[in-house]
Amino acid sequence: MFEHTRAARDLLRPLIGRLTALHRAYPLAQLAFRHRSQAGAHVLQIAARGHATLSLVLQDEAAFSELPIATFVDAEQREMVLAGKASACLFAIEAEDCDRVTLNSVRTELQSGARMKCTGPRQSRLIQPSHESLLTLRLARAAGSPGPTRRVDVRSGRIVHRASGNATDSRAELAMLLLGRMGRSDALPVLVARTRTGDAQLRWQALRQCLTLDAATGLPLLERIAKDHADPLYQAARALLAQLQRERSSLLSEPG
């Protein structure tokens, strides 16, 4: 399918035609496939096995953000354009230092039959704003133990967001964030324990929520990590501690 655009179209046309006809007849019908829609991006998963998925992806004008943020995911991904036109930039991370990366980029024009490939967590692509919709066939295979997902401002190379690439870890991260937003100080013992071992992203989220719920508990944890050169969170902890010293010196000077 990915070698021959016509073969892909011939295979998918009956499926798309059938689904379209059914939804015209029954607008409230529930799709029998996993799917999601947000901000102009619509994904219909048509096959899955193990860590691999095959999906139809439709992006309309609302999906093409003017903010140059590229998402780097720990997965192999191939896409073929079935319909529509757009421009895209393909990015590769050449070097990474703390919360900033150095990027190499190549611009390409997308039209029917065009192909894109990202082979791991150091490659991504960014679709440029367009007045046309873009329909692609996407084959993706996630890593067995995926590393974190990173969102990067391609103008500056700054990493603006990190998230766990593991679904279980993502749920745990969201749960910790919710506990912090709810002010659940009774969860502090569990959060403190999560700052000490395990995935670095989860430890960082637990540390942030400890600081949010009780500075007197969170600050000693932050200072301990900021002194441990062997800790993967050492650089991030030092940066956060320096920021707090600049912005909240009164908080840091409070006793115990």
Q: Do residues 113 and 230 share a domain?
A: no
Residue with tokens 């959060």: 191
Query: What type of residue sits at position 158?
Result: R
Q: Do residues 182 and 66 share a domain?
A: no
Q: What is the pLDDT of residue 199?
A: 82
Coil, strand or helix at 112: coil
End-of-domain residue from the set 147, 163, 179? 163
Q: Do residues 153 and 173 share a domain?
A: no
What are the start-end ranges of the H helices in 156-233?
167-181, 188-194, 200-213, 215-227
Q: What is the pLDDT of residue 128?
A: 80
pTM, rounded to two decimals:
0.71
Q: Residue 67 sits in a domain of what CATH number?
A: 2.60.120.10
Q: What is the pLDDT of residue 256?
A: 43
Q: Tens-of-pLDDT digits for all 256 residues of the chain?
A: 888 888 989 999 999 999 999 999 999 988 889 999 887 789 999 999 999 999 999 988 766 656 688 999 999 999 999 999 988 999 999 998 878 899 999 999 999 999 999 998 999 998 886 778 899 999 999 988 888 888 999 999 999 887 777 778 888 888 999 999 999 999 999 999 999 988 888 899 999 999 999 999 999 999 999 999 999 899 889 988 988 888 766 555 554 4
Q: Do residues 135 and 201 share a domain?
A: no
Boundaries of domain holding 205: 167-253
Q: What is the pLDDT of residue 66?
A: 61
Angle at Cα 136 formed by Cα 134 and Cα 141, nearest 5°?
140
Rounded to whole angstroms, the Cα distance separating 173 from 11 reads 40
Q: Do residues 136 and 50 share a domain?
A: yes
Rounded to whole angstroms, the Cα distance separating 137 from 193 reads 43
Q: Do residues 75 and 52 share a domain?
A: yes
Number of domains in the chain: 2
